[in-house]
């Protein structure tokens, strides 16, 4: 075979083995399949990625929701018997998104059936604005079930922790309020804000719900009878300062969460600063006994009917008061001139020191921030004279209660409190007055109520040994005295061994010609119409009615009063 033929054969074989015809159709099919598979792969990856992001977002929302619930938590508040005054509960708020409403007319009809007392004129306007709005907050379980059965997509439910006040108005000034950010803004809610947010167990107060209710009921009733601008009542244990009841009127419903700006809602029991009149005479006599300047039997003779101090007269409120009086008679008959003479024997420095010691001159520390500051003044001979009978000197009803507790409990200092504490038998008590002050003052306070010469006969409730002192003071406006009055009665009982002090204050009461008084001497004698607009005819009557109502509870729950 020639070499040319050999090369020809090899070349032909090579071409047969490696040459091919290009199939354009097959190549397109293969490429489309690969592109389709790649698209499906990307789609699946996208779906899973979106799912992962959604779950992550959902988890974040759950965490944020839990964080909100946790941040909104506040401990419950209970009274001394374990009754709830404040409770944190799960509640449901209902809102509407108008953009999801399919049939407005049908929706409104259904909502009217569930909330028949609601004004729907405003709701109609909100539905037309296409913006989310709240229909009702803190709905009942029954309302929630009815709404759920509607199957309405536009109704949005929000579950949250809410602060509920079962007693509504009853403890409004004590408990106080919180704002929309869950921060306390007044009362216990503010003063113990951090503790309420961090503690697990309820915060227990010293107050008694049953007694608080009865005290408030009587104050409300007599606010209507005497048309007073406001009133206050404080019941406190004289031995440990525990406040069993503290009421100030007018009050407000804590569940409404309304912003309180009107000064008429001031806490008169702790924030109100007043000239309280003759209730200060008890402090004057107690100071004289403590400083060894007088005895109850010490006699002051030829007392004038009036004195002139800095060009102004000081007079007796009753011209029938005799010119010769013992210290005991001065307090029983509420003599102004006699009180001035006692204060003059004590002297400025000693009298001022005594008032500071019992806590009525300076601002008191307490368990809420709403505490008044007694008005400062410059001491002098005339100021000593007027202060001796409670004019030209101010304090709060809470401090008045503290002062009366100290001078009647054996002379031991007390710190008024709303927070129940665990006391031990070995608890130290700080004695700040001499032993004989209470021994000599308490029988006199009893005679003010039990004797016909006294000014508080309407508080002589049988079986409770009530003692106390009245105070009638004119209110000042722009530095001048007006015809408006503050009538106060400071009561202690039982006087044989005082356990409680009760303060009743009426702000600007008016006489009532139709009210019928019933005398407590057993004679059955009645008197129609308020004879005078003084504490003896107003605050004393209220205090007597309160003691009649709360006495059996105190005797049953706490002590046996003989």
Cα radius of gyration rounded to whole Å, the chain: 39
Domain ranges, ordered by start, for the chain = 29-71, 77-168, 211-557
Q: Which of 407, 176, 388 is nearest to 271 (CA)?
A: 176
Q: How many angstroms separate the Cα of 155 from the Cα of each of 105, 132, 161?
A: 15, 10, 20
pLDDT in tens, the chain (562 residues): 444 544 444 444 444 444 444 444 454 556 566 666 766 777 776 665 655 554 454 444 434 444 445 557 899 999 999 999 999 888 888 898 988 888 888 888 888 899 888 888 888 888 888 889 888 888 878 888 888 888 888 898 888 778 889 999 999 999 999 988 889 999 999 999 999 999 999 999 999 999 999 999 999 999 999 999 999 999 999 999 999 999 999 999 998 877 777 889 999 999 999 999 999 999 999 999 999 999 999 999 999 989 998 888 899 988 889 999 999 999 999 999 999 999 999 999 999 999 999 999 999 999 999 999 999 999 999 999 999 999 999 999 999 999 999 999 999 999 999 999 865 454 678 999 999 999 999 999 999 999 999 999 999 999 999 999 999 999 988 878 899 999 999 999 999 999 999 999 999 999 999 999 988 877 778 889 887 899 999 999 999 999 999 999 998 776 544 3
d(CA 146, CA 550): 44
d(CA 455, CA 317): 12
Neighbouring-strand partners of residue 134: 95
Can you tell me whether residue 314 is helix, strand or coil? strand
Which residue matches tokens 């009665």? 489
Phi, psi of 504 (to 5 degrees): -125, 120
Q: How many angstroms separate the Cα of 302 from the Cα of each of 281, 306, 311, 337?
A: 20, 12, 22, 10
Q: How many angstroms separate the Cα of 542 from the Cα of each of 222, 276, 414?
A: 7, 17, 26
Single pTM value for the model: 0.81
**pLDDT for 124:** 85
Name the CATH superfamily for 211-557.
DD-peptidase/beta-lactamase superfamily (3.40.710.10)
Cα dihedral: 513, 449, 352, 338 (round 10): 80
Can you tell me whether residue 167 is helix, strand or coil? coil
Tell me how crowded residue 169 is: count the other CB atoms within 10 A of its CB: 18
Q: What is the CATH number of domain 77-168?
A: 3.90.1310.10
Which run of H or E residues covers position 536? none
Tell me how crowded residue 428 is: count the other CB atoms within 10 A of its CB: 5
Q: Are strands 77-78 and 84-96 parallel, antiparallel or unpaired?
A: antiparallel
Strands in 272-349 per DSSP E: 274-275, 299-300, 306-309, 312-315, 325-326
DSSP 419: B
d(CA 356, CA 102): 72
Q: Pull the structure tokens for residue 442.
A: 């308490």
Using an 8 Å Cβ cutoff, are 483 and 468 in contact? no
């Amino acid at each position: 075979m020639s070499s040319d033929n050999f090369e020809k054969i090899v070349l032909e074989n090579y071409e047969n083995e490696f040459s091919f015809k290009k199939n354009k159709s097959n190549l397109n099919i293969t490429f489309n399949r690969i592109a389709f598979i790649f698209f499906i792969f990307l789609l699946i990856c996208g779906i899973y990625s979106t799912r992962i992001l959604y779950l992550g977002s959902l988890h974040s929302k759950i965490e944020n929701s839990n964080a909100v619930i946790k941040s909104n938590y506040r401990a419950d508040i209970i009274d001394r018997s374990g009754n709830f005054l404040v409770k944190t509960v799960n509640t449901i708020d209902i809102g509407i998104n108008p953009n999801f409403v399919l049939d407005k007319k049908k929706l409104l009809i259904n909502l009217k059936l569930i909330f028949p007392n609601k004004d729907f004129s405003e709701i109609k306007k909100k539905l037309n604005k296409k913006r989310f709005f709240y229909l009702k907050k803190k709905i009942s379980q029954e309302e929630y079930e009815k709404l759920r059965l509607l199957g309405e997509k536009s109704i949005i439910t929000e579950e949250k922790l809410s602060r509920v006040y079962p007693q509504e108005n009853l403890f409004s000034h004590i408990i106080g309020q919180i704002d929309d950010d869950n921060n306390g803004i007044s009362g216990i809610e503010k003063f113990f804000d951090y503790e309420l947010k961090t503690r697990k167990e309820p915060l227990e107060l010293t107050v008694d719900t049953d007694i608080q209710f009865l005290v408030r009921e009587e104050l409300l009733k007599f606010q209507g009878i005497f048309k007073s601008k406001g009133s206050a009542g404080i019941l406190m244990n004289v031995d440990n300062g525990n406040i069993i009841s503290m009421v100030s009127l007018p009050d407000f419903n804590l569940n409404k969460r309304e912003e309180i700006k009107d000064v008429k809602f001031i806490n008169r029991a702790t924030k109100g600063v007043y000239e309280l009149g003759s209730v200060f005479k008890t402090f004057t006599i107690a100071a004289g006994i403590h400083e060894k300047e007088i005895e109850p039997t010490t006699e002051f003779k030829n007392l004038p009917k009036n004195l002139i101090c800095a060009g102004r007269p000081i007079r007796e409120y009753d011209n029938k008061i005799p010119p010769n009086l013992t210290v005991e008679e001065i307090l029983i008959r509420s003599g102004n001139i006699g009180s001035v003479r006692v204060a003059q024997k004590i002297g400025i420095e000693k009298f001022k020191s005594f008032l500071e010691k019992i806590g009525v001159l300076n601002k008191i520390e307490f368990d809420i921030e709403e505490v008044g500051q007694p008005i400062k003044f410059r001491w002098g001979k005339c100021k000593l004279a007027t202060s001796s009978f409670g004019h030209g000197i101010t304090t709060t009803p809470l401090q008045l209660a503290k002062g009366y507790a100290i001078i009647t409990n054996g002379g031991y200092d007390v710190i008024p409190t709303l927070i129940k504490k665990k006391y031990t038998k070995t608890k130290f008590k700080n004695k700040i007055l001499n032993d004989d002050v209470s021994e000599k003052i308490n029988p006199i306070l009893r005679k003010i109520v039990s004797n016909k010469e006294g000014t508080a006969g309407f508080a002589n409730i049988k079986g409770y040994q009530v003692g106390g002192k009245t105070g009638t003071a004119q209110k000042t406006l722009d530095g001048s005295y007006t015809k408006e009055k503050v009538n106060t009665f400071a009561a202690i009982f039982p006087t044989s061994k005082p356990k409680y002090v009760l303060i009743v204050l009426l702000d600007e009461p008016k006489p009532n010609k139709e009210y019928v008084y019933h005398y407590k001497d057993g004679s059955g004698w009645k008197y129609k119409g308020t004879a005078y607009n003084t504490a003896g005819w107003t605050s004393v009557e209220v205090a007597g009615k309160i003691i009649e109502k709360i006495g059996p509870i105190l005797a049953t729950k706490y002590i046996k009063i003989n």
